[in-house]
Copies of this chain bind each other. A is one copy, B any other.
Amino acid sequence: MEAYKKLETIFTKIYRFRHLISMAFWDIQVLMPRGGAEARGAALAELQLHVHELLTDPKMRDLLLEAEKNKEQLGTLQQANLREIRLEWERENLLPEEIIKKKSELTTRAQQIWRKSREENDFSQWLPMLKELVALFYETGVALAGNTGKHPYEALLQLYEPGMSLERIDEIFNEIKSWLPALIREVMEKRKTAGEEVLTPVGPFPLEAQKELSRYCMNVWKFDFDGGRQDCSLHPFCGGVKEDVRITTRYDESRFETGLMAAIHETGHAKYEQNGGPKEMITQLVARYRSLGVHEGQSLFAERMVARSKPFIEFLLPKLKELFGDQPAFTPENMVKIIQRVNPSFIRITSDELCYTMHIILRYEIERGLIEGKLRVEDVPAVWNEKMKSYLGIETLGNDREGCLQDIHWSIGDFGYFPTYSLGALVAAQLMASIRRDLGNDVVDDCIRKGELGAILEKQREKIWQHGSTYTTEELLTKATGEPLNPRFFREHLERRYRDNLG
């Protein structure tokens, strides 16, 4: 018990240091003037190094072994916390300092070259850099796998999605590939045949009105403004700390939907943070979000399961008219067409709900191929083009800016991260299906139509949020929804919305 208590104290300290790190990161994205970058980077690196030193201090190992020896003295939460502590400790100790330093050095350089290569649509500049990155992250994966026999790519994936196996990912993604590209073609064909007409809302949509709309929706989700903020940044994100959750949005005065959906998406993340984990253990790892897939599951639940649904559009229309004037485009039927548009396109981040997953599968297959050495870095543009053709029916040949150069992820060292976006989509659909079973379809749709989300939010809290990292992802989903992750619900959701025009 004493050893365990000491570990808690160390992790409370780390929690507090990470508070300052998160806030300094948030500030970089939202406020920091350009000239502050170098000093900020050095300050962050210094505290991160100190946290690393705490985690790799030899006495941690003794405390951990001692605590694990006396595990039966601990309660359920404490045992789960100890499991998370071991995971964090192992990760931190498996990576040699040279890899950490090399990562920091390489990704700083890589980001600059990536940006330039993308601007100039020039893969040849990016090629040597990507080779170096792949080599480093292969090495990182091998180091993280330790002597567990894990596949190096799996070790990378598990940084974001602990416990997820490649076998499982393949199973899920292959299942999705067996029907999603066909569904996309079918929906596109049907809409073309129907000669669908869409009225575009007429802007400009003033910044202040868009901000009010975001705030209005954040209140619908009961975002706690006493424990958080909303600001603007180039790329929307959810940051800060559990006690002070900070989401950002980016507004486009010519289109209000993107800013609106981004704000609701980030609010979904924020709700998980603001209500996450057992409160009495807030400084401990057990109170942390379960995984990035589960986190994305909450944001996509808010965005796709709720905000992109017909009932929500109905709820929102009066507010849209109030803020942007009564427009011919503001009918339920037309606005549903806008919010549920399907349009296979090059860019992942502006992709629609239906096509998005194919973007992710493409990236997963390519990055895994690279790490496994089965795909040569030189061949990335060609393979990208082939897969885009086969999955979405569009070509990127010679257009790498909108092809393999579009994402920031590899340049900042996020290999193994992409799949969590799609795991999130699955979690969101499966969670909504279980809430619909619990509350009844009519009640759920009615809640959404009235903008009274209380009952739905309470279900999310009960099923997911309150548990933090107490359970593994598989345990958590089974408890919450009756079964482990199952892509069936995702398919049913998409077919219902896009094929059957329901929901």
**Stretch from A28-36, A383-391, A415-423, A431-439 that touches the partner:** A28-36
Contact partner of A43 (CB less than 8 A), chosen from B16, B31, B226, is B16
Alpha-carbon distance A244/B45, docked complex (angstroms): 17
- At the interface, yes or no: A255 with Cβ under 8 Å from chain B? no
Whether the pair A42, B16 counts as a contact (CB closer than 8 A) is yes
Contact partner of A35 (CB less than 8 A), chosen from B38, B46, B224, is B224
Contact partner of A20 (CB less than 8 A), chosen from B35, B36, B47, B243, is B47
Q: How far is the CB of A103 from chain B (nearest CB, A)?
A: 20
- At the interface, yes or no: A194 with Cβ under 8 Å from chain B? no
Neighbouring B residues of A224 by C-beta, 8 Å: 35
- At the interface, yes or no: A261 with Cβ under 8 Å from chain B? no
Whether the pair A226, B33 counts as a contact (CB closer than 8 A) is yes
Contact partner of A27 (CB less than 8 A), chosen from B23, B45, B46, is B23
Most chain B Cβ neighbours within 10 Å, of A13, A33, A38: A33
- At the interface, yes or no: A227 with Cβ under 8 Å from chain B? yes
Alpha-carbon distance A38/B38, docked complex (angstroms): 30
Alpha-carbon distance A71/B50, docked complex (angstroms): 31
Whether the pair B229, A35 counts as a contact (CB closer than 8 A) is no
Whether the pair A39, B243 counts as a contact (CB closer than 8 A) is yes
Neighbouring B residues of A13 by C-beta, 8 Å: 46
Neighbouring B residues of A20 by C-beta, 8 Å: 20-21, 24, 43-44, 47
Q: How far is the CB of A20 from chain B (nearest CB, A)?
A: 5
Q: How far is the CB of A15 from chain B (nearest CB, A)?
A: 8
Neighbouring B residues of A21 by C-beta, 8 Å: 20
- At the interface, yes or no: A225 with Cβ under 8 Å from chain B? yes
- At the interface, yes or no: A463 with Cβ under 8 Å from chain B? no
Neighbouring B residues of A225 by C-beta, 8 Å: 33
Whether the pair B38, A243 counts as a contact (CB closer than 8 A) is yes
Neighbouring B residues of A250 by C-beta, 8 Å: none
Q: How far is the CB of A56 from chain B (nearest CB, A)?
A: 17
Q: How far is the CB of A246 from chain B (nearest CB, A)?
A: 9
Most chain B Cβ neighbours within 10 Å, of A34, A45, A242, A243: A243
- At the interface, yes or no: A241 with Cβ under 8 Å from chain B? yes
Neighbouring B residues of A42 by C-beta, 8 Å: 16, 19
Alpha-carbon distance A47/B23, docked complex (angstroms): 14
Whether the pair B43, A227 counts as a contact (CB closer than 8 A) is no
- At the interface, yes or no: A162 with Cβ under 8 Å from chain B? no
Whether the pair A17, B46 counts as a contact (CB closer than 8 A) is yes
17 A–B contacts from the bound complex (CB under 8 Å): A16-B42, A16-B46, A17-B46, A23-B23, A23-B24, A23-B27, A24-B24, A27-B27, A33-B226, A33-B228, A33-B229, A34-B226, A35-B226, A35-B244, A36-B241, A36-B243, A50-B50
15 additional A-B pairs beyond A16-B42, A23-B23, A32-B244, beta carbons within 8 Å, are: A16-B43, A16-B47, A19-B39, A19-B42, A19-B43, A20-B20, A20-B43, A20-B44, A20-B47, A24-B24, A31-B229, A33-B244, A35-B224, A35-B226, A36-B244
